[in-house]
Amino acid sequence: AQSVTQLGSHVSVSEGALVLLRCNYSSSVPPYLFWYVQYPNQGLQLLLKYTTGATLVKGINGFEAEFKKSETSFHLTKPSAHMSDAAEYFCAVSYSGGGADGLTFGKGTHLIIQP
C-alpha cells in the first residue's frame, strides 16, 4: 500500500526566505508524485507533478520539487517566499496500475509567511 508523510503540520518562514516543505512516500512500485495547494475556502489545485523523466520538476508560482528515489522523498521548495504563498500544501502519491482509487494524500502542511 502506498502512503505519504508530510513532516511538519505547520511551517513558518519570513517573506523572502526559502520555503521547504517535506514529503516522504512509501510505494512498492515507481510512484507518481504530486503537490497540491489549497487556499482558504477553495479546493485543491495542482502545483506540480512527477511522473517519469527529469527528477527536478518545476511548477506554478515559482515552486519546484525534486524526486529522490534513494531517499523516497519529494520535497517542495521555493527560493523566495511571498505573502501570497500562505496556504495549505498537500503531497500526494499514486502509481500506474494502482487502480482507479484516486490519490493518497498526506495530512497537509500549513505554510505561514511572516512579514
Partner 1 sequence: DSGVTQTPKHLITATGQRVTLRCSPRSGDLSVYWYQQSLDQGLQFLIQYYNGEERAKGNILERFSAQQFPDLHSELNLSSLELGDSALYFCASTVREDSYNSPLHFGNGTRLTVT
Question: Does 32 participate in binding partner 1 (rule CB under 8 A)?
Answer: yes
d(CA 9, CA 61): 21
Stretch binding partner 1 (CB under 8 A), from 18-26, 35-43, 62-70, 73-81:
35-43
Q: Which three cell numbers stand for residue 105?
A: 494524500
The CA-atom distances, in angstroms, between 88 and each of 12, 47, 84, 95, 99 are 12, 12, 12, 23, 27
Nearer to partner 1, 44 or 113 (CB): 44
Q: How far is the CB of 56 from partner 1 (least distance, A)?
A: 19
Question: Does 46 participate in binding partner 1 (rule CB under 8 A)?
Answer: yes
CA atoms within 13 A on the CB side of 110: 5
Question: Does 106 participate in binding partner 1 (rule CB under 8 A)?
Answer: yes
Residues that bind partner 1 (CB under 8 A): 32, 34, 36, 41-46, 49, 51, 90, 94-108
